[in-house]
Chains A and B, each alone.
Chain A
Amino acid sequence: NAGVTQTPKFQVLKTGQSMTLQCAQDMNHEYMSWYRQDPGMGLRLIHYSVGAGITDQGEVPNGYNVSRSTTEDFPLRLLSAAPSQTSVYFCASSASGITDTQYFGPGTRLTVL
C-alpha cells in the first residue's frame, strides 16, 4: 500500500492563479481531510469528507473548494491564490471517522507570490 499520497510536493503560484492539490489513498478509507500548517498555528482543518459525495467545512475553509467523487481521491482547489495561502498542506485519511487513526500524506509546500 502506498498509503496517502499528495502531489505536487512543492508549488509556487502567482497571486490570482488557481490550482488543485491532489490527494489519494489506497486504504479504502471513508474519512478524508485537508489541513494547513502555518508557523505557530499548528494544523488547521480546511475541509473534510465522511464519504464519497459528502464534504463539509472545517475551521478555515475560505478560498478553498473540495469534492469527493470517489473514495480514493480528495482534491483541494484554490480558486484564486492569495499570499495568505502560503502554507504546507496535509491530506489525511482514516477508516471511518475522526476518532480513528488519521494517516497523513507527506505534504505539499505552497508559496503564493
Chain B
Amino acid sequence: DQQVKQNSPSLSVQEGRISILNCDYTNSMFDYFLWYKKYPAEGPTFLISISSIKDKNEDGRFTVFLNKSAKHLSLHIVPSQPGDSAVYFCAAISGNTGKLIFGQGTTLQVKP
C-alpha cells in the first residue's frame, strides 16, 4: 500500500512560469514532510521540508504548502528555470516509526 502518492508522473512548464507538484498521503501519523530533487545518475538532494504544525514554508523560489485535513502537500516553484528540470520526490516521516517514506516521483521539465 503506497502511503505517499505522487499521482502525476510528469509535468512540463514554460520557463518563468509556476511549477506545482502535488503529493497525497494516507497515514495521519506522518508529522514531517520533505521534498527531494534528483538529477539523472545522481543521488537525491534535499530541497525543502515542513512540519505538520505549519501549513507553509518558503525558501527562495520554493514554497511547500501542507493541507492536513486533505492529507495533501504541494511544492511551488516560482519562477521555474530550466535547471529545475529533475525528478522531484515527496517524502514523509512518522515520528513513532522513524522511517522516511517516499512517493513515486514526478519528472519536471522546464522548457526554455
Tally of contact residues, B, Cβ under 8 A: 22
- What residues on B are CB-neighbors of A106 within 8 Å? 41-43
Known: A42-B89, A42-B105. A98 touches B100 (CB 8 A): yes
| Contact with B44, one of A40, A45, A90, A98 (Cβ below 8 angstroms) | A90
Which residue of chain B is the closest to A39 with respect to CB atoms?
Answer: B104
Chain B binding surface SS class: strand
Nearest-Cβ distance from residue A4 to partner chain B, whole angstroms: 7
Which residues of B, 73-106, contact A by the 8 Å Cβ criterion?
A: 89, 91, 93, 98-105
Which residue of chain A is the closest to B32 with respect to CB atoms?
Answer: A99
- 13 extra A-B contacts, CB within 8 A, seeds A33-B100, A58-B99, A106-B43: A42-B4, A42-B89, A43-B91, A98-B93, A101-B46, A102-B44, A102-B100, A104-B43, A104-B44, A104-B45, A106-B41, A107-B41, A107-B42
